[in-house]
């Protein structure tokens, strides 16, 4: 499943550069995650890099975009092909 940034975000900007897929960007009020680009770092890292660096723990699984590990891997492979 994709990740989601809650309203607890303090706009510290540490998550955006950590995303290997460029899924995180500045929204109108807080940072947002594009679910079509978020693979939870599957294919890149063992852990979710944005979650690792977030100082306020405001990045959570997005219940509106539930994906299995296999679906996340397939998304990663599609994204990798698009950038190759």
CA-closest candidate to residue 7, choices 40, 52, 64, 56: 56
Q: What does the pLDDT read at residue 84?
A: 65
Digit-coded pLDDT (tens) for 13-56: 999 999 999 999 999 999 999 999 999 999 999 999 999 999 99
CA pair distance 37, 67, nearest whole angstrom: 12
The residue with greater pLDDT, 13 or 1, is 13
**With the C-alpha atoms ordered 37, 71, 6, 16, is the resulting torsion angle positive or negative?**
negative
- By the 8 A CB rule, do 27 and 60 touch? no
CA pair distance 42, 75, nearest whole angstrom: 9
Q: Quick one: tokens of 3?
A: 């990740």
% of the chain exceeding 70 in pLDDT: 99
pTM above 0.75, yes or no: yes
Q: What does the pLDDT read at residue 82?
A: 86
CATH value of 3-83 in 3.30.70.20, 3.30.1330.200, 3.10.20.880, 3.30.365.10: 3.30.70.20
């Amino acid at each position: 499943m994709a990740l989601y940034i809650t309203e607890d975000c303090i706009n510290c900007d540490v998550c955006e550069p950590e995303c290997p897929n460029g899924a995180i960007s500045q929204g109108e009020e807080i940072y947002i995650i594009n679910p079509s680009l978020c693979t939870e770092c599957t294919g890149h890292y063992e852990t979710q890099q944005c979650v690792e660096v977030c100082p306020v723990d405001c990045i959570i699984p997005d219940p509106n975009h539930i994906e299995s590990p296999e679906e996340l891997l397939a998304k990663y492979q599609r994204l990798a092909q698009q950038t190759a």
